[in-house]
Structure 1
Amino acid sequence: MQSHGHHEEVIEDSNPTDNSEFNALLVKRRSFLKGGAGLTAAAFFGSFPLSSFARTEEVGVNLARPTSLKFSAVPHYTGDDMLVAEGYRAELILPMGTPIVDGVEDWRDDRMVLGESFKYRMGDNHDGMWFFGLNNHGYDPKHSERGLLAMNHEYTNPNLNPIENYTKDDPLAEKIYQKRRLASDVRREIHAHGVSVVEVKRTPTGYEMVKNSPFNKRYTSGTPTKLSGVAKGSEFVKTKIDPQGLTSIGINNQCGAGLSPWGTYLTTEENFLNVFARGADKTVIGDKNDKRASRYGLKENTIGDDAYAWHTPTDGEAHEFEVWDATAKAESVLATDDHRNNFNTFGYITEIDPFAPKSQAVKRTSLGRFAHENCAFVPPKQGEQLVFYMGDDARGEYIYKFVSDAKWSNIDIGGGLKAGDKYLDKGALYVAVFHEDGTGEWRELSKENPALADFTSDAEIAVFARLAADKVGATKMDRPEWVSVSPITREVYVTLTNNSRRKEEEVNAANPRSYDGKGNQHGHIIRFAETDGQTGGRFRWDIYLFASPFDKAEQNLSKLTADNDLSSPDGLFFDPRGVLWIQTDDGAYTSRTNCMLLAALPNKIGDGRSLTTSVGKETHMGAVATPDTLRRFFVGPQGCEVTGITMTPDCKALFINIQHPEGRFGAVAGGQTPRSGTVVITKKDGGVILGESLM
């Protein structure tokens, strides 16, 4: 995701490869863009089970997908409040700093709360989340009255720490690596990262937290986690604090998220680079170890984001903060003599069982290490392998697929972390190549691939997945963010948020726009369908939607109007009915409108046509959007990102998050500090979201 506030557009750009954007061995052009536009919702629902959600008959309400969008579109808006479609209410809950147990003081506008207290209060910058139905103290995928809300906290804003601790002119900032910060402020930030799990219950207007629930728990950048999978115990993750390579010091920069088929929370580590520093390194610049660190953005004498500098406090406990310094020290004989490998223990899909608060989070290393945005799975079928899709959110990075070795069994629903051991620790990791003819292929990242012969093991490939993907010629994409799989068609949708550095001469069919020297500033959504089954090696693709202001003719290839135009699609979520929800994280269109949430009714690949962009690149586009199939549903307050999205099984409540708002959004009564928070959207008549009115 883009960074704002504390991080002012810190977007990683560490892919130096000149990978051919498409495989040179192209088959002759295929006419795959045919047919399919006439599929109906009834036909869809007869084909695929909605196995990750409750079925219609189980929740007792009509969950048929709408045939068209009938609500009045929310207009463009630049104010400090939030707007939602007529007939709906939006309620703010769980703002940053809210205590989740008794004995913790309320958030104070002077920000003088103890950093350690964030182990027991909502963290900062709410992001990806999921609603887990709770019934009889356990997971119930059809229960909506009570549930556990698992939620990410991506990073921290300046308004987390006391005002007097920030100055614009820091005399120590000239040498960034030597900058010094207060231990109290760094502790506050460490514990404001991570994940919150809170119990919520339905109220007449939405939902509220159940304070002191035994399930309420925080996982932070200071909460030890387990390592599991192919890299567990390998030389690459052995550290000074754990020479066995079995644990990590915490979780960090949690961004998008998702559900596992068995009912656990799959959180992600995205911009983990930000909190690490690397000083004058004994590693020779250009050698193997340096290339590994640099490929993940950590070059010598740098900090991922200098606003953090977590390694610098001198007023803390012994060795408390040096774990964030990944420098290979000159005096070290072994890698475990310093903290260089701590960096390698971050960047993974991380599994949390919200129903087992005494358990540790588990980093699933077999799914690869990169800037994970989120993780989405294909609705499973009994006796078939599970398939997960992931994006690496940085400029010019890749799209990945993981196929588990184990075959799905329905008896594993509710199986917790043991089920995760079964399905996420052994399998095959692949990276995507998009061909210009509208086809694509998955290239395996393992020692079975001769192109990776110079890697010593599958553990090395997983820990340095980016380098392996470079070697096999993966297609560089315009910042792959959220991934979501249609429960109707099983097609995979990926937001490519934007890429300000995409040059006109570098466009390709899957990333075909660059304008006015600003690259692909508005982004697009690509989709693909497997052609050899979900575990197969080939797919076909098209671009579902080109984001653009409605009045930018050469960019507005999807013919958007003032009722549905958007910029920088980011969050992406298919609800149980097959409605697609699109969220934005924009900096290129905010003079006209704040970030937003749109509802969409996509069809499937093959419903559009081929076209040539104004920069001369031929591509494959889905059907033109209309207000009946794409419409603006919500607009957030000024300065915010609209992100994090989940829905109750009965589709009567939609949860979204408002990140880094400006003005006084989320401030305590009479206060001036804006705060991130969760918004619960419900229908005023108590009905199903986008359903027919009950009044």
Structure 2
Amino acid sequence: MSNRSSNPFFSSILNSRLQRRQVLRGTLAAAVTSMFAGPIMDGLKARPASANNTKLGFKPVPISEADTIVVPEGYTARVLIPWGEPISGSFPRYSLKNTGAEQGMQVGQHHDGMHFFPIEGKSPYEGSSVDGLLVVNHEYIEPRYTHAAAVGQALGPDGFPQKEDGTRETDQVLKEMNGHGVTITRISRQSDGSWRVVRDQRNRRITALTPMEIRGPVRGSDLVKTKYSPDGTRTRGTINNCAHGVTPWNTYLTCEENWARYFLNNDEDVPRDHERYGVSTDGTSRYGWELADSKADEYIRFGASASGASATEDYRNEPNAFGWVVEIDPFNPNSTPVKHTYLGRFAHEGVVFQSPVEGQPIVCYSGDDARFEYIYKYVSAQPYCQATASGALLDDGTLYVARFNEDGTGNWLALKFGENGLTPENGFQDQADILVNTRTAADFVGATKMDRPEWGAIDPRNGNVYFTLTNNSNRKSEQVDAANPRPENDWGHIIRWSEAGKNPTATSFQWDIFVLAGPEDDSRKLSGRPLNADNIFVNPDGLWFDADARLWIQTDIGESSQNQGEFAQFGNNQMLAADPDTGEIRRFLTGPIGQEITGVVTTPDQRTMFINVQHPGATTSEEEFAAGKINSRWPNQDPKIYPRSATVVITKDDGGIIGT
């Protein structure tokens, strides 16, 4: 948590409607009933589900603690492109002894958001369902599962090997950097229903070292000038790539989430553009990349202290080149990725677009995944034209942040220089300053502090927007508000809204809560009824609508909580499907031990689904790792092979549409 602003939590307003006893744990029903006794979005009230109107045609799977993928009866799950799968160059086979350079020719680690692009390259949603480019994010890495040198050491998920003098072997750092980023690989369906990697010139890796262009208002700003880019127009690499976005012009957006701790600033006075985001200020950075023994420029840049006479002689501004949304053209292997600064700098979980309308602005949304952070919307200044649309639409517009009012209404507050007090008198020098310090600007205008806003999804029929709020155990009773109604919110919930007049560019909206996750005695569906054995879940994270408006929900119970204490009743992380009209929810899938289910997309015909299993075995303790007692061996189930993140291909045995 980095938000220490004094923004109100609406507790003064809520106290007139909710007695504190109503929002204490165990009295959830009273709180929800009181909050939503007033206006609610027209057309979004729950309708009873019946056998002939449900969107969900599969039998729910039970909660599981097994080290495997479990799917409903009549479905098959197969593994595709696990970490280390070769895709380019000399196609080196996966081995714990792979070098850093070899990792740059292989699928990265810890798969996350992804999209299947039909091979024709004309539309992100129409075209071939048997041949295409699969583009996959890689959020982070576990050094203990990455290096042969780590075997036998007492290392946790973020622990890394070090030399006796405190430095790190350069090739280990290179391997970790190349394990980050994005994988682009061509895949095709085989006659037996399986899929395989196709050798193609478009197969490539985008990593923490790939040259990138900075665009938008921050381009050329003094805040991003470095030794590498004295004019502030370029940077190297993308890291902590969580969820994603898909543009209407058929490109891929990868989002930089928890990037801040990759950097270390030991200066006595840490600037707000570091402090407000949680840049490390003592010891080492998350992985100690700045400790590479070669002391090469591409590694020491993760030490962000001021060491030169000016910013163009060191890397004090390097953290400001991260926290952005990066656009990649998967069909052009020679293209340079672009960081679009008008979408704001924060812990981006993903980007989700409203359906484009010819002659109207582009509209997209993004969540800042941290406790007490915000939800944002971007509206382009120029209208969408299918014939000419490009990433330029993301470089000129207005970034807004959401305020959720206690009466079920909301407002979008512009983060625009000269408006809403964002002026030099209040510490904001220009639009670039506002965007580099997006969180600080959102604090200033009075946005609503949310319970870790993560993935968003938009109902393709009506434009209603859904966002997961994963959890917030730090929220106190006096800090609850209508949009975040539970103190010590261990379980999480899903919020949704409809823009005023069904106009995506509107500056006001109406909202409600779609589901409050949790056990049977502390949860509520849209119908007002609690969740049950077929659908109890917690910590909603991934979210996606398919073409038939089924809402897919993925969970991320943290490694320290999985199958422990109160969380034991939920088993391993899972994926569910929901009917947004009736509120019906069914559990579709459970994953192996220690992992997070994330990333979901289907082929255009909806008969093949891809999901990702991230960090299996992450719940292995330091002591267990040192003793070789790894609690997951998924997907190989070989005691000689460490667990590996991978994509999973799901098909229906009768060849039908997934979910029906």
- TM-score tier after normalising by the smaller chain length: 0.7 to 0.9
The answer to whether structure 1 residue 642 and structure 2 residue 597 are counterparts is yes
Q: Give the drift of 1:36.
A: 2.1
Number of corresponding residues: 607
Q: Give the drift of 1:140.
A: 7.4
Cα deviation, 1:399-418, whole Å, max 9, x if unaligned, reads 00000011111224xx6xxx
Distance 1:165 1:341, change over 3 A: farther
1:103 to 90, 93, 112: 90
Distance 1:443 1:553, change over 3 A: closer
2:318 to 337, 342, 354: 342
Distance 1:507 1:136 in 2: 47
Q: Give the drift of 1:31.
A: 4.0
RMSD over aligned Cα atoms:
2.8
Alignment-mate amino acid for residue 244 of structure 1: D
> Which 5+ residue runs of structure 1 have no aligned equivalent?
1-12, 42-64, 604-622
Q: Give the drift of 1:214.
A: 1.1
2:380 to 404, 407, 416: 404
Q: Is the 8 A contact 1:125 1:660 kept in 2?
A: yes
The answer to whether structure 1 residue 535 and structure 2 residue 505 are counterparts is yes
669-678 or 184-193, larger mean C-alpha shift: 669-678
Distance 1:278 1:165 in 2: 30
Q: Is the 8 A contact 1:134 1:140 kept in 2?
A: no
Alignment-mate amino acid for residue 474 of structure 2: R
Cα deviation, 1:635-677, whole Å, max 9, x if unaligned, reads 0001110001111111011100001112110238563311000
Q: Is the 8 A contact 1:225 1:247 kept in 2?
A: yes
14-23 or 267-276, larger mean C-alpha shift: 14-23
Q: Give the drift of 1:523.
A: 0.3
The answer to whether structure 1 residue 36 and structure 2 residue 43 are counterparts is yes
The answer to whether structure 1 residue 658 and structure 2 residue 646 are counterparts is no
Q: Is the 8 A contact 1:447 1:457 kept in 2?
A: yes
The answer to whether structure 1 residue 479 and structure 2 residue 452 are counterparts is yes
Alignment-mate amino acid for residue 452 of structure 1: L
Query: Could you say which residue in structure 2 is the equivalent of 1:391?
Result: 367
Cα deviation, 1:210-253, whole Å, max 9, x if unaligned, reads 33211101000011111111111111111111101111111111
Distance 1:530 1:648, change over 3 A: same
Q: Is the 8 A contact 2:134 2:184 kept in 1?
A: yes
Distance 1:388 1:166, change over 3 A: farther
1:311 to 272, 278, 290: 290
Alignment-mate amino acid for residue 14 of structure 1: S
Distance 1:553 1:634 in 2: 20
Query: Could you say which residue in structure 2 is the equivalent of 1:610?
Result: none
Alignment-mate amino acid for residue 16 of structure 1: R
Alignment-mate amino acid for residue 586 of structure 1: I
Summarize the alignment of residues 203-214 of structure 1 with structure 2, pairs less than 5 Å apart.
Answer: 203-214=190-201
1:630 to 585, 593, 598: 585
> Which 5+ residue runs of structure 2 have no aligned equivalent?
18-34, 618-631
Distance 1:649 1:190 in 2: 33
Cα deviation, 1:78-136, whole Å, max 9, x if unaligned, reads 0101100111101111000000036232112xx11101112110000000000101128
Query: Could you say which residue in structure 2 is the equivalent of 1:62?
Result: none
Summarize the alignment of residues 359-370 of structure 1 with structure 2, pairs less than 5 Å apart.
Answer: 359-370=335-346
Distance 1:687 1:208, change over 3 A: same
Distance 1:268 1:121 in 2: 21
Distance 2:195 2:334 in 1: 23
Distance 1:162 1:440 in 2: 53
Distance 1:445 1:410 in 2: 28
Distance 1:320 1:142 in 2: 40
The answer to whether structure 1 residue 321 and structure 2 residue 299 are counterparts is yes
Distance 1:245 1:642 in 2: 37
Q: Give the drift of 1:40.
A: 9.3
Q: Is the 8 A contact 2:259 2:323 kept in 1?
A: yes
The answer to whether structure 1 residue 453 and structure 2 residue 456 are counterparts is no
The answer to whether structure 1 residue 571 and structure 2 residue 542 are counterparts is yes
Q: When the two structures are superposed, what TM-score results if normalisation uses the length of structure 2?
A: 0.87
Alignment-mate amino acid for residue 162 of structure 1: A
SS at match of 1:321: helix
Q: Give the drift of 1:313.
A: 1.8
Distance 1:430 1:490 in 2: 18
Distance 1:217 1:573, change over 3 A: same
Cα deviation, 1:579-637, whole Å, max 9, x if unaligned, reads 1000000144632311001011112xxxxxxxxxxxxxxxxxxx7x4xxx210000000
The answer to whether structure 1 residue 544 and structure 2 residue 529 are counterparts is no
Distance 1:529 1:179 in 2: 54
Distance 1:240 1:636, change over 3 A: same
Distance 1:553 1:21 in 2: 22
Q: Give the drift of 1:34.
A: 6.2
Distance 1:146 1:393 in 2: 33
Distance 1:274 1:527 in 2: 31
Distance 1:264 1:136 in 2: 9
Alignment-mate amino acid for residue 21 of structure 1: F
Q: Is the 8 A contact 2:3 2:276 kept in 1?
A: yes
Q: Give the drift of 1:273.
A: 1.3
Summarize the alignment of residues 431-442 of structure 1 with structure 2, pairs less than 5 Å apart.
Answer: 431-442=401-412
Q: Give the drift of 1:76.
A: 0.7
The answer to whether structure 1 residue 690 and structure 2 residue 659 are counterparts is yes
Query: Could you say which residue in structure 2 is the equivalent of 1:611?
Result: none
Query: Could you say which residue in structure 2 is the equivalent of 1:53?
Result: none
Cα deviation, 1:539-562, whole Å, max 9, x if unaligned, reads 111110111022447999751000
SS at match of 1:116: helix
Distance 1:351 1:191, change over 3 A: same
Distance 2:296 2:504 in 1: 50
Cα deviation, 1:333-353, whole Å, max 9, x if unaligned, reads 211121011110001111000
2:100 to 102, 115, 119: 115
Q: When the two structures are superposed, what TM-score results if normalisation uses the length of structure 1?
A: 0.83
Summarize the alignment of residues 252-271 of structure 1 with structure 2, pairs less than 5 Å apart.
Answer: 252-271=239-258
Distance 1:582 1:554, change over 3 A: closer
Distance 2:123 2:508 in 1: 39
2:438 to 465, 469, 486: 465
Alignment-mate amino acid for residue 499 of structure 1: N
Distance 2:174 2:491 in 1: 36
Distance 1:669 1:409, change over 3 A: same
Q: Is the 8 A contact 2:361 2:505 kept in 1?
A: yes
Alignment-mate amino acid for residue 291 of structure 1: R
Summarize the alignment of residues 167-246 of structure 1 with structure 2, pairs less than 5 Å apart.
Answer: 167-168=153-154, 179-246=166-233
The answer to whether structure 1 residue 499 and structure 2 residue 475 are counterparts is no
The answer to whether structure 1 residue 508 and structure 2 residue 496 are counterparts is no
Distance 1:232 1:302, change over 3 A: farther
Distance 1:318 1:107 in 2: 27
Query: Could you say which residue in structure 1 is the equivalent of 2:128?
Result: 143
SS at match of 1:236: helix
Alignment-mate amino acid for residue 192 of structure 1: G
Query: Following TM superposition, where does structure 1 have runs of at least 4 consecutive aligned residues deviating by more than 6 angstroms?
Result: 23-30, 38-41, 136-140, 553-557
Alignment-mate amino acid for residue 137 of structure 2: N
SS at match of 1:18: coil
